[in-house]
């Protein structure tokens, strides 16, 4: 049986990429089309399997270093805020947690980050912010961060700060609805705190002070579940009575008088000396909440045993 004629040069160039596979058994044949039908089907099926395996491998396999324990806990924390698993893992990879002692917040004006106060108290423009308060430019749908200069932010005591890369947060907010929902909830909580704690109303000085102390001392269960920071006791560290008075727009004398009432009824005990008190041991959280709601201590249900 004579060999088939050589295919034209144009066919050889067209099928040059198939030569290593089809010439092993048929060295004189340069075109898949010239193979017997059964072998041609087998060759095409093998090529499809190789292509599918290659595509699947590149699409589903992610090569990255093992995650640290902190990154795992951060992903759990974002997940508990409602973020999807994939987005929570990615945002956690672009975040870190650090402990900062009293003093100016490190890199407060760097617009490439968003900071979250996990525990402790910070002062910003005479306002006091507590646990899970977000600092920075949260308008992540803008291409570049805002150019408005942020006021100085002072940490009033040991505080754990979560720092999130803004570009990573923006990237996922643009394509993931769960991240958008988390940011919406953050904005809603900010407005609620501004209205509840710092809003102008007819409450007494005692009620407003109790409301501020309750807010600064609060700690949501999500932080304990995520195990991001050590558990706190019922002691509020950081602000002086002068900080509390400036935050509420009250006189220092009126704040001192209200603090004396709270101590007298066993609601809290202050440590330190005079006006420089920086630690407040909350002995009766339920009475502090009642005072924040405007209840008088003389009421029967609020009498001390």
Joined together, the tokens standing for residue 190 give: 């900010």
The mean pLDDT of 46-69, rounded to a whole number, is 52
Angle at 110 between CA 109 and CA 115, to 5 degrees: 85
The residue behind tokens 């760097």 is: 110
Please determine, for residue 33, whether its predicted confidence score (pLDDT) is greater than 60: no
Which phi and psi angles does 233 have, rounded to 5°? Answer: -90, -170
Please determine, for residue 26, whether its predicted confidence score (pLDDT) is greater than 50: no
Q: Does residue 243 contact residue 128 with C-beta atoms inside 8 Å?
A: yes
Return the sign of the alpha-carbon dihedral for residues 69, 172, 106, 281.
negative
- Which pLDDT tens digit goes with each residue over 73-103? 999 999 999 999 999 999 999 999 999 888 9
Joined together, the tokens standing for residue 277 give: 């008190």
The mean pLDDT of 57-72, rounded to a whole number, is 58
pLDDT at 111: 62
Joined together, the tokens standing for residue 37 give: 């039908």
Q: 100 or 150, which is more confident?
A: 100
34: how many CB neighbours lie within 10 A of its CB? Answer: 16
Please determine, for residue 5, whether its predicted confidence score (pLDDT) is greater than 90: no
Q: 190 or 202, which is more confident?
A: 190
Q: Cα 288 to chain center, whole Å? A: 29
Q: Does residue 95 contact residue 73 with C-beta atoms inside 8 Å?
A: no
Q: What percent of the chain has pLDDT over 90?
A: 40
């Amino acid at each position: 049986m004579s060999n088939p004629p050589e295919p034209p040069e144009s066919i050889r160039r067209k099928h040059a990429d198939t030569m290593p596979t089809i010439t092993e058994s048929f060295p004189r044949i340069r075109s898949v089309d010239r193979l017997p039908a059964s072998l041609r089907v087998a060759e095409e099926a093998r090529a499809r399997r190789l292509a599918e395996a290659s595509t699947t491998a590149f699409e589903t396999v992610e090569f990255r270093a093992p995650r640290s324990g902190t990154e795992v806990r951060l992903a759990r924390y974002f997940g508990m805020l409602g973020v999807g698993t994939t987005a929570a893992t990615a945002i956690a990879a672009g975040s870190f947690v650090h402990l900062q002692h009293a003093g100016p917040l490190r890199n407060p004006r760097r617009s490439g980050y968003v900071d979250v106060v996990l525990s402790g108290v910070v002062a910003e423009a005479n306002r006091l912010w507590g646990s899970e308060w977000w600092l920075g430019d949260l308008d992540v749908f803008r291409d570049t961060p805002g150019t408005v200069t942020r006021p100085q932010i002072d940490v009033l005591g040991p505080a754990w700060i979560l720092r999130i890369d803004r570009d990573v947060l923006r990237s996922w907010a643009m394509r993931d609805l769960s991240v958008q929902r988390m940011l919406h909830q953050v904005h809603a909580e900010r407005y609620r705190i501004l209205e509840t704690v710092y809003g102008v109303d007819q409450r007494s000085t005692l009620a407003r002070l109790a409301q501020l102390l309750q807010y600064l001392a609060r700690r949501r269960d999500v932080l304990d579940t995520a195990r991001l920071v050590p558990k706190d006791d019922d002691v509020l560290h950081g602000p002086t009575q002068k900080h509390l008075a400036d935050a509420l727009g009250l006189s220092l004398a009126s704040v001192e008088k209200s603090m004396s009432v709270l101590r007298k009824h066993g609601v809290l005990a202050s440590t330190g000396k005079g006006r420089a008190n920086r630690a407040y041991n909350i002995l009766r959280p339920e009475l502090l909440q009642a005072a924040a709601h405007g209840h008088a201590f003389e009421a029967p249900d609020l009498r001390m045993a």
